[in-house]
Structure 1
Amino acid sequence: MATAQSKAHVDWSGDLLQGNGQVSVGSGSFGPLPISWRTRTERGGGGTSPEELIAAAHAGCYAMALSNTLAKHGSPPENLSVDATCNFEFGEGGARITSIDLNVTGRVPGLSEEEFKSIAEEAEKGCPVSNALRNNVDIRLNAQLA
Structure 2
Amino acid sequence: MGIQVRRRAAARWQGPVATGVGHIRTASKAVDSDYSLRSREGEGAPLNTNPEELIGAGLAGCFAMSVANQLEQAGHSDVEVDANAVVRLEETDAGFRITEIALSISGGAPGLGDDEFARIADQAKRTCPVSLALAGTTITLTQVKAVR
TM-score scaled to structure 2, two decimals? 0.84
Alignment-derived partner of residue 16 in structure 1? 17
Report the residue type matching 1:18 in the other structure.
T
Report the Cα offset of residue 47 of structure 1.
Answer: 0.7
Asked whether the 8 Å contact 2:72–2:79 carries over to 1, the reply is no
Q: Which residue of 1 aligns with 2:141?
A: none
Is the contact made by 1:67 and 1:77 (CA closer than 8 Å) also made in structure 2?
Answer: no
Q: Bigger radius of gyration, 1 or 2?
A: 2
Distance 1:42 1:103 in 2: 21
2:34 corresponds to 1:34? yes
Q: Residues 85 and 77 from structure 1, CA distance in 2 versus in 1: closer, same or farther, beyond 3 angstroms?
A: farther
RMSD: 1.6
Describe the superposition over 1:19-65 as per-residue Cα deviations: whole angstroms up to 9, x where unpaired: 1111111111231x010011023361011100000001001101111
Corresponding residue for 1:45? 46
Q: Deviations over 1:62-108 (max 9, x none)?
A: 11110111111112353111111111111111101011111000132
More strand by share: 1
Which amino acid is 2:99 matched to?
T
Return 5+ residue gaps in structure 1 as ranges. Answer: 137-146
- Counterpart code for 1:70: L
Please give the residue correspondences for 1:104-119 in structure 2 after superposition, counting only pairs within 5 Å: 104-119=105-120
The one-letter amino acid of 2:36's match is S
Do structure 1's residue 59 and structure 2's residue 55 form an aligned pair? no
Amino acid at match of 1:27: S
Q: TM-score, normalized by length of structure 1?
A: 0.85
Identity of aligned residues (%): 36
Secondary structure of the equivalent of 2:56? helix
Q: CA deviation at 1:135?
A: 5.5
Displacement over 3 Å in runs of 4+: none
Q: Which amino acid in the other structure matches residue 60 of structure 1?
A: G
Q: Work out the number of aligned pairs and report it.
A: 135
Higher relative contact order (CA 8 A, sep 6+): 1
Amino acid at match of 1:67: A
Q: Which residue of 2 aligns with 1:101?
A: 102
- Pairwise CA distance, 1:113: 0.7
Q: Name the SS for the 1:76 alignment partner.
A: coil
